Structure 1
Amino acid sequence: MFFNRKGRPIAKAIVFVCVVYFLFVWFPRSSPAPVKQQKRPGKPISRKDPEPPKDAVHLTKHPELNPVPAHIPLPNGPGSIPRIQFDFPPESPEDRTERVRKQEAVKSAFLHAWNGYKDHAWLRDEVAPTSGQFEDTFSGWGATLVDSLDALVIMGLDDELELALEALNEIDFTTTTSREVNVFEIVIRYMGGFLAAHDLTNGKHPILLKKAVELGEMIFNAFDTPNRMPQMRWNWAKSARGEGIWASPRTSLAEIASLTVEFTRLTQLTKDPKYFDAVQRITNNLQEGQATTRLPGMWPTFINAEKLRFEDTSFSVGGCADSAYEYFPKEHILLGGKTDQYQKMYADAIETIKKKVIFRAMTKDADRRALFAADVYVLRGGDSQSLRYAPDHLKCFMGGMVALGAKVFNRPDDMPIARGLTDGCVWAYDVTPTGVMPESFRVSACENIDVCPWDQNKWFADIIGRHIELDEERQRAQQKVDAQRLPPGITDIRDPSYSLRPEALESLFIMYRITGDKSLQDAAWRMFQNIEKATRTKFGHSSIADVRDKEPKLKDKMESFWLAETLKYLYLIFSEPNHISLDEYVLSTEAHPFKRPTGPS
């Protein structure tokens, strides 16, 4: 029997009703699918060697060869620190929504890089973000893990923090394959990470201070020299055998002068005076020599720590010198203003820096006051000086330092300089094809720091090193511009790479917290987006070879400061202002926040 066309829809409807009735009435019903609960992340696979390698050296405790007769105590006189942060007004709902959106984007980038490390380099120093391999660059004690501890707290990543805390017992600071231990890097990354996480969690996790003390006991051996100046590239094997060591006849200013904040905080927390004593002896020697250098007020980039001589000819606030100056206002804050020593040293240094080092770069945007710091070379007697107008990324901390010093030491006239130094580094980001600043370059320097109109001929002259008089000289300059892809104002790019550095964002963070200027947040967001686009890889974010390439070559390198500093500063720029307030914390040179003491020492 065949249904006609009109009857087919009726039959189909009857069949459909029967099927539905059967499924929903007679067919046994299953329970609804449970809502998935967020699970604690699984324990990462350790990449640490199960047994120490055969070439590892174990450091055992030996009696001090050069003990001090008495310890220098923490200062206990009266002191106070002026308010630092801007008095921020209430935030509108629209502004909050936009700010949180940006903050979450930064947090997402952090988790991407953290998971790459966690999955492929757990308990090693660094993950190679492109290949997924690992490497040990700082004695193999898990630099990225420890350096990132406080960032996990700041970003509210509690489960990730628990995993990290569980792993800390596997770190043995008495054993390494390194024959030479970089004291500065170990202190700022490891000790800073432990102490900041301890302070941020109000001592809730005893393992953090325990490991900081273990590290302090170990690294203290590097100070056992005849003049108590530390051997900054410490011959670990010699100390392991109980043999004597000496301070280096050539050590960088930054390395030897940038231990004060970490060691002072360790003394404040443990009440053990030896750590503050150790760094205060360095400070006293620096102050004694400050007026005797070839550029009085500043110290040469390299000093003779063995003989305590400051005779070198090169002066800079860039690499190998930077954090020495940064730590004067920060140590003053951490000590509660109870001594004026660091204020005096800062004042003498910043006056010389303002007169001899800071200059303005000529830019096409004449309203943009782009300030930078030059390198200075001084012949014996100081009669002959030469300047190299060579900005580099490491110098970009200067804007934040000068702003902090202006507030803490009541130097309001320095604030425009701080803003100009910050704006200079933002300009250096904005003018490249990737929107990312190169490691180091040279610029045309203005003759007048206040008035500086754009002059194409001057730019060309600076590029070729001679006055432009002929068309062929102009053509030669243009050829160099084209060959090196030089943005207007830049005369040479010495190192076009970008190493995920934080210094420019550090200054933006401090300037924003001090001034409340939202344009600084805009600049930070622009920089973050450009960095993320240029550096993101499968297992994290990578240093890049050339910021002039729109699709730059990746170098498969992600240092721990990408998580510990760069992304942390970005996150804090988009945090509520009272989150890690500058009136409650001092941030170390590795961006580790230490709680400012409120009571007697």
Structure 2
Amino acid sequence: MRLSCTLLLLGLSSPSWAGVTVQKAGLSVPQKYAHRRDQAKTLFTTSYTSYKKFAFGHDDLSPVSEGFSDGRNGWGASIVDAMPTMFVMGLENIFEEAVNFSSKIDFSKSQTSDTVSIFETTIRYIGGLLSSYELSGEKYPILVTKAKEVADKMAFGWVGSNEMPYGFIDFSTNTPTIGTSNIAEAGTLSLEWFTLSKYTGNTTYADLTAKSVKHIANLAAPLPGLAAQGIDPTTGSAVGGYVTWGGGSDSYLEYLIKYARLTNTADSIFIDTWKTAVDSSIRTLLKRSTVGNHLYLADFDDSRQIRHVGSHLACFHAGNWLLGGKLLGNQTIIDIALELNEGCWNTYASTATKIGPEAFAFVSSDGNFTGGNAISADQLKFYNKHGFYITSSAYIMRPEVLESNFHAWRVTGDTKYLDRAGAAIDSFNTFLRATTAFAALNDVNNINGGLIDDMQSFWFAEVLKYLYLTFDDPKHISLDDYVFNTECQPFRAPPALDSYSGKLVPAKPFTVQSGSLPQISPNAVSLKL
């Protein structure tokens, strides 16, 4: 079947009339905030100028030592990941320089370790290349060629009839690294590979990744719609029974609703599973702190116990629920999302630097179990003042709280979200300044805690793009015209449907499997590290 016919069946040839909308009608940024957009742009240009001076062609700048690191296979992750932000900000000269660099990347081999992450390479490299191709009016077809080049190597991650890809692949031999994966690794490829199919005319890319998501969605789950975090690519079976909206599961859940919107697919499994996951979360995971009455989503562990933990990573959920609530026309989801956003912003507002920590925990009326150490005297003191306590104090330049803040502004038009984004800019300028550019922070609650010598590519791709777009004309990169991948790379969406209602999916029985397979740690470090 030709791609044009396939896309028609998927619903990409949508009606010409407008359907569901996400953004508040007639939204505009008050003039008094205009300087904030310029400040966000300056953060970018200052950072990128230093990257060019000390690290160009490498993956990441080390801003304290004025060096570089190559944690993403040495293909120049910061350049490719930053390209769409360059275009969005109107930085034409460095955008064209980045396109020229990208056109010469040799994706046939890794420049560092032979092992390549299918997830990380998809969201940063394929996402950056294809979003740049779209944003620039399809002017540079070499970007599609390069995306195809690296995807063709990663396609070896699907072995035989397996519906699940392995998480990592050896590019020197085109063989996967055998081992346990997780649903975020396996289920966060669909937006990018669908878009690759769209521009290459080869449906294989979309088919591979969509079947992986559907496989996860069809597994028996610990809670309805909420798949276990761990998965064995060899058998396709769940590993353990840990449930979280945080790292290891996060972007699988994020992409369910986004794939439904980007494709307008007639296959209801994506929207149905997302809707069921949200319903299940409201029923089981939604908790309030005993101090401050802050709303949060807890985790659910292998022993079927609630863990009263949260993380910067998980704070994407508010923005994702706002998007889904608007598409579904469900005010309850929207209202809860706005409250979840308040709880996440409180983790910024409460620290000495006014920047949020990596991980935190709560006390609720039904307990304070976290699966880790008991709350210390100092943590209890902090909790009694702020309604949460810090369990990991670093800020590694993550975007999720600002991502949800951006969505809250675009959905509601409440200028308090502009004030918050502005406060974040001030805090970054004050506390993240390094020898050159900006760096990660050791301790958000200690103004003299020192810096971490790292500035990952998502600082360019996500943090600074979300900040810039918060203060930009809302009609530019509108949430009604684009769907963002988990790296904040915009993909143009077709006209919205009149309804994304979906239905709740009946629960399937789930039993935690025992055996020799390793468990995914509930405190797993982010896939973006």
| TM-score calculated relative to the size of structure 2 | 0.86
User: Offset at 1:501?
Assistant: 0.3
> 2: distance between equivalents of 1:463 and 1:236?
38
Equivalent position amino acid for 2:121 in 1: I
**47, 54, 70: which one aligns with 1:120:** 54
| 1:102 paired to 2:36 | yes
- The equivalent residue for 2:138 is 203
- The equivalent residue for 2:330 is 411
**329, 337, 340: which one aligns with 2:257:** 329
- The equivalent residue for 1:12 is none
Query: In structure 2, the residue corresponding to 1:488 is in which secondary structure?
Result: helix
| Alignment map for 1:338-353 (pairs within 5 Å) | 338-353=266-281
> 1: distance between equivalents of 2:496 and 2:349?
45
| 1:82 paired to 2:15 | no
| 1:188 paired to 2:127 | no
> 1: distance between equivalents of 2:460 and 2:329?
33
- The equivalent residue for 1:488 is 385
- The equivalent residue for 2:523 is none
- The equivalent residue for 1:146 is 80
> 2: distance between equivalents of 1:591 and 1:125?
18
User: Offset at 1:228?
Assistant: 4.2
Unmatched segments (≥5 aa) in structure 2? 498-529
User: Offset at 1:392?
Assistant: 0.6
- The equivalent residue for 1:258 is 188
Asked if 2 retains the 8 angstrom alpha-carbon contact of 1:435 and 1:531, the reply is: no
- The equivalent residue for 2:288 is 360
Equivalent position amino acid for 1:255 in 2: E
User: Offset at 1:202?
Assistant: 0.9
| Alignment map for 1:562-581 (pairs within 5 Å) | 562-581=459-478
**179, 191, 216: which one aligns with 2:114:** 179
Query: In structure 1, the residue corresponding to 2:278 is in which secondary structure?
Result: helix
> Structure 1's 347 and 89: CA in aligned 2 closer, same or farther, altered over 3 A?
closer
> Structure 1's 492 and 508: CA in aligned 2 closer, same or farther, altered over 3 A?
closer
1:396-430 Cα offsets, whole Å, 9 max, x none, are 10000111110112222111111011111111100
> 2: distance between equivalents of 1:578 and 1:303?
40
User: Offset at 1:486?
Assistant: 5.7
Higher alpha-carbon Rg: 1
> Structure 1's 102 and 137: CA in aligned 2 closer, same or farther, altered over 3 A?
same
Query: In structure 2, the residue corresponding to 1:255 is in which secondary structure?
Result: helix
**417, 420, 424: which one aligns with 1:527:** 424
RMSD: 2.6
Between the two proteins, what is the percent identity of the paired residues? 29
User: Offset at 1:311?
Assistant: 4.4
> 1: distance between equivalents of 2:194 and 2:344?
31
Further displaced range: 543-552 or 137-146: 543-552
1:16-69 Cα offsets, whole Å, 9 max, x none, are xxxxxxxxxxxxxxxxxxxxxxxxxxxxxxxxxxxxxxxxxxxxxxxxxxxxxx
Asked if 1 retains the 8 angstrom alpha-carbon contact of 2:482 and 2:492, the reply is: yes
Equivalent position amino acid for 2:329 in 1: N
- The equivalent residue for 2:202 is 272
**278, 282, 286: which one aligns with 2:216:** 286
| Alignment map for 1:431-580 (pairs within 5 Å) | 431-446=350-365, 481=380, 488-489=385-386, 492-580=389-477
User: Offset at 1:358?
Assistant: 1.9
Asked if 1 retains the 8 angstrom alpha-carbon contact of 2:58 and 2:77, the reply is: yes
1:182-228 Cα offsets, whole Å, 9 max, x none, are 11000000010011111111111222222222222222222244414
> 2: distance between equivalents of 1:268 and 1:315?
33
> 2: distance between equivalents of 1:322 and 1:232?
16
Asked if 2 retains the 8 angstrom alpha-carbon contact of 1:441 and 1:495, the reply is: yes
1:245-266 Cα offsets, whole Å, 9 max, x none, are 47x4510110100000001111
Equivalent position amino acid for 1:528 in 2: I
**205, 215, 223: which one aligns with 1:295:** 223
Q: Looking at both structures, which has the greater relative contact order when contacts are Cα pairs under 8 Å and sequence separation is at least 6?
A: 2
Query: In structure 2, the residue corresponding to 1:238 is in which secondary structure?
Result: coil
> 1: distance between equivalents of 2:199 and 2:349?
43
Asked if 1 retains the 8 angstrom alpha-carbon contact of 2:130 and 2:196, the reply is: yes
Further displaced range: 215-224 or 349-358: 215-224
User: Offset at 1:175?
Assistant: 1.7
1:118-158 Cα offsets, whole Å, 9 max, x none, are 11111110010111101100111000000000000000001
Further displaced range: 295-304 or 553-562: 295-304
User: Offset at 1:527?
Assistant: 1.9
User: Offset at 1:99?
Assistant: 2.0
User: Offset at 1:465?
Assistant: 5.9
Asked if 2 retains the 8 angstrom alpha-carbon contact of 1:74 and 1:276, the reply is: no
Query: In structure 2, the residue corresponding to 1:293 is in which secondary structure?
Result: coil
User: Offset at 1:230?
Assistant: 1.4
> 2: distance between equivalents of 1:303 and 1:254?
10
Further displaced range: 579-588 or 353-362: 353-362
May I ask how many residue pairs the two structures share in their alignment? 486
**367, 370, 379: which one aligns with 2:294:** 370
User: Offset at 1:341?
Assistant: 2.1
| TM-score calculated relative to the size of structure 1 | 0.76
Asked if 1 retains the 8 angstrom alpha-carbon contact of 2:191 and 2:485, the reply is: yes
- The equivalent residue for 2:508 is none
**127, 131, 134: which one aligns with 2:68:** 134
> 1: distance between equivalents of 2:493 and 2:24?
18
Equivalent position amino acid for 1:268 in 2: K
User: Offset at 1:528?
Assistant: 2.1
